[in-house]
Chains A and B, each alone.
Chain A
Amino acid sequence: MDSREMVIAKLAEWDIVPSEEDLAELVPAYEALLQSQNVLENMLRTRSMGNAMEFPLSEPAVIHDMGRYR
């Protein structure tokens, strides 16, 4: 399945049919998103898995964990 087909299929899960105008924007943006996944995976590799698993589930980003910094 190429990127265009993937975009159409993923939006179909939400009962949305993109126009050709929409697809012209969405397909390259979807391919950029796949590249960003690698960036994030590399970020997590800079920490040990143990530490990564200890990260709080992050949202709201500060207040759930503010006790550590006060």
Chain B
Amino acid sequence: MASTAQELAFSSIEALSARIQRKEISPVEVTQTMLSRIDELNPKIHAYYTVFHDEVLEDARRAEQEIARGNYRGPLHGIPMGIKDIYEMKRTTCGSQALQEYVAEEDCVAIKKLKSAGSLILGKTATYEFAYGIQSLKSPVEPVRSAWDLSREAGGSSSGSGGAIAAGMAYSAMGSCTGGSIRWPAQCLLHVGLKATYGRVSRRGIYPLAWTLDHPGPLARTVKDSALVLQALAGYDELDPASANVPVPDFTAKLDRDIRGMRIGLLADLYEKSCDPKVLEVYDKAVDKYRSLGAEIVKVPSIGIPELEAIEWPTLWSEAAAIHVRNIRNRGDQYNPNTRQFIQWGLLVSNAYYMLASRCRAQVRDDLNAALTRDCDVLMLPTAGFQGPPPVAEESPGLNFIGSAFEIYTPIFNFTGHPAIQVPCGFDSDGLAVGFQIAAKPFDEVTMFQVARAYEQSEPWHTMHADI
């Protein structure tokens, strides 16, 4: 593949949209580049379940004509994207054998908004079954592979969305996050992964995993690209009961401001004792970089891993069980065994436990809000405390992680609702990608983007990609 095509495939949205606006390149040419790469690489990566070859080319021609007439809609106009296959749009399988024949009657709200902004939808990307049944070689569909190392998986559950970007088969792709399913694959693949504040983006038409924890959001190559996609997605939806009726700011407003004097609060109690030293070594360099950029680093008290796990997983699985129990009873054999067991486990969570966890998550939320008001401007911590992504598994780990140390640090912001972004910060001594999270006050994504971008622009990680 020619190097120019390679450069085009791994461009940022920011750079590509400027070229499209100047008419230096056509959305048709960009889309054809994506489609030819998908044809060539998807049989190895398995990132897409469905590709809309004809439809997306037709949309690209329409975008080209609009732009030629001077009707440029904005930075997503003519940009090809992937969509996790739990978003309703045409055939929507949720990665499950139980939904192979399901065809959505209309696009979900998020896709309507992306199309309205001019994005071109390439296809539906792979997901863990219903966004949680972990893929393995025993799954009915091939696990998504990392373009960095085809023997490894791409992280999950938004595995196809991450896998597509990493292989130069999309410029951004939508994921969903209930415990870390955007930020974790983003870390695995050296991407940016964004979960905005709970209520910022409508979930209507996206298959739920756990109502009080679910957040839609994009994976992308850069912080600014993430902000541009969020700009298209954000807004009140009166038909989503969790949607927040709050103003939508310009998410790029403070992107290029320096961060001197800003206070970054480390949630060290959560990760210091549990984080793999190889991961921590890379993360600590990112903290030092922030110090060199003029930020003040402070420590903020927080819960530890046992408390995080005690709140997150029983809440998630009991809500998921409420969604799936009827199907499990009537056609459980169509679910992956480990998916079925997760749901059964959720049915074992008592009402009192769920309410206890609800009280505790409010307590954590209040503590973090107090810290963000009193002690710091943003919070920082690693995305995960273990190396990733793992080799493609022969079979699913099932419920084995429950009760054992599982050092994923993303769920804390799912159950508090704070906006959080994963930023890549290099490779560990084994060559595996490492990332960290920046979180901010509710609905203050602008500050979160500012701090994340300041680090990103000081390091080369966002310019790197797999050689594929």
Residues of chain A whose beta carbon lies under 8 Å from any beta carbon of chain B: 7, 10-11, 13-16, 18, 21-22, 25-26, 28-33, 35-37, 39-41, 43-44, 46-47, 52, 55-63, 65-66, 68-70
Q: Is A61 a contact partner of B373 (Cβ separation < 8 A)? A: no
- Given known contacts A25-B341, A39-B307, A63-B417, A31 and B347 CB-to-CB distance under 8 angstroms: no
A41 to chain B: closest residue by CB: B356
CA distance A56 to B212 in the complex (A): 14
- Contacting pair B311 A60 (CB below 8 A): no
Decide: A55 near B353, CB < 8 A? Known: A26-B348, A32-B403, A61-B416.
no
Number of A-B contacts (CB under 8 A): 142
Majority SS at the chain A contact face: helix
Instruction: Give the residue of A33, A56, A70 whose beta carbon is less than 8 angstroms from that of B402.
Output: A33
B340 / chain A contacts, CB cutoff of 8 Å? 22
Q: With CB as the reference atom, state the residue of chain A lying closest to B212.
A: A59
* Bound form: Cα–Cα A47–B367 in Å: 11
Asked if B399 and A29 sit within 8 Å, CB to CB, the answer is yes
A7 to B344, CA, bound (A): 9
Q: Which residue of A is nearest B345, CB measured?
A: A29
Q: Which of A16, A58, A66 makes the CB contact (< 8 A) with B358?
A: A58
- Which chain B residues lie closer than 8 Å to A22 at the CB level? 337, 340-341, 344
Q: Report whether A61 and B325 are in contact in the complex, using a CB–CB cutoff of 8 Å.
A: no
Q: Which residue of A lies closest to B352 (CB)?
A: A37
Say yes or no: A58 contacts B361, CB within 8 Å: yes
Partner of A40, one of B199, B311, B369, B402: B311
Let me know if A33 and B244 touch, CB within 8 A. Answer: no
* Closest beta carbon of chain B to A44's beta carbon, Å: 6
CB <8 Å contact, B416 and A16: no
Contact of B442 with A62 in the complex, beta carbons under 8 Å: yes
Asked if B242 is at the interface of the complex by the 8 Å CB criterion, the answer is yes
* Distance in Å: Cβ of A9 to nearest Cβ of chain B: 10
Q: Does B25 contact A (CB under 8 A)?
A: no
Which parts of B301-350 form the interface with A (CB within 8 Å)? 303, 306-307, 309-311, 314, 325, 328-329, 332, 337-338, 340-341, 344-345, 347-349
Q: Indicate if the CB atoms of B415 and A47 lie closer than 8 Å.
A: no
- List A contacts of B332 (CB < 8 A): 16
Separation of A6 and B126 alpha carbons in the complex (Å): 36
How far apart are the CA atoms of A60 and B200 in the complex, in Å? 12
List 22 A-B residue pairs with CB atoms under 8 Å apart, sorted by A's residue number.
Answer: A13-B347, A18-B344, A25-B341, A26-B341, A28-B402, A28-B403, A29-B402, A33-B314, A33-B348, A36-B310, A39-B307, A43-B307, A43-B310, A43-B360, A44-B360, A46-B363, A58-B361, A59-B211, A60-B417, A65-B362, A66-B244, A70-B443
Contact B362 A55 (CB under 8 A): yes
Cβ contact within 8 Å between B198 and A62? yes
B 367-411 binary contact with A (CB < 8 Å = 1; else 0): 001000100000000000000000000000011101100000000
Chain B residues within 8 Å of A, Cβ to Cβ:
197-199, 211-212, 242, 244, 246, 303, 306-307, 309-311, 314, 325, 328-329, 332, 337-338, 340-341, 344-345, 347-349, 353, 356-363, 365-366, 369, 373, 398-400, 402-403, 415-418, 441-443
- Residue among B325, B328, B360, B369 making CB contact with A69, cutoff 8 Å: B369
Beta-carbon contact of A31 and B198 below 8 Å:
no
Q: Which residues of A contact B211 (CB under 8 A)?
A: 59
Contacts of B416 in A (CB 8 A): 61-62
A46 and B360 CA atoms in complex are apart in Å by 10
Closest to B340 in A: A22
Minimal beta-carbon separation of A26 from chain B (angstroms): 6
User: Which residues on the B side are within 8 Å of A55 (C-beta)?
Assistant: 359, 362-363, 366
| A60 to B319 Cα, complex, angstroms | 13
Q: CA separation between A31 and B345, bound complex, in Å?
A: 11
Does B356 lie within 8 Å of A40, measured CB to CB? yes
Complex-state Cα separation, A52 to B355, whole angstroms: 12
Q: Is A62 a contact partner of B197 (Cβ separation < 8 A)?
A: yes
Report the minimal beta-carbon distance from A18 to chain B, rounded to whole angstroms.
Answer: 6
- Top 10 A-B pairs, shortest CB-CB distance: A32-B403, A62-B417, A36-B310, A61-B417, A39-B310, A29-B399, A59-B212, A58-B362, A58-B358, A55-B362
Among the listed B341, B356, B366, B443, which residue makes an inter-chain contact with A37, where contact means beta carbons less than 8 Å apart?
Answer: B356
Assembly CA distance A40 to B357 (angstroms): 7
Complex partner residue of B442 from A7, A13, A46, A69, CB under 8 angstroms: A69
Q: Which residues of B contact A26 (CB under 8 A)?
A: 341, 344-345, 348, 399
Q: Min CB distance, A67 to chain B, in Å?
A: 11
**CA A22 to CA B345, docked complex, whole Å:** 10
B347 touches A16 (CB 8 A): yes
A36 interface neighbour in B314, B369, B418, Cβ under 8 Å: B314
Chain B hits for A47, CB < 8 A: 363
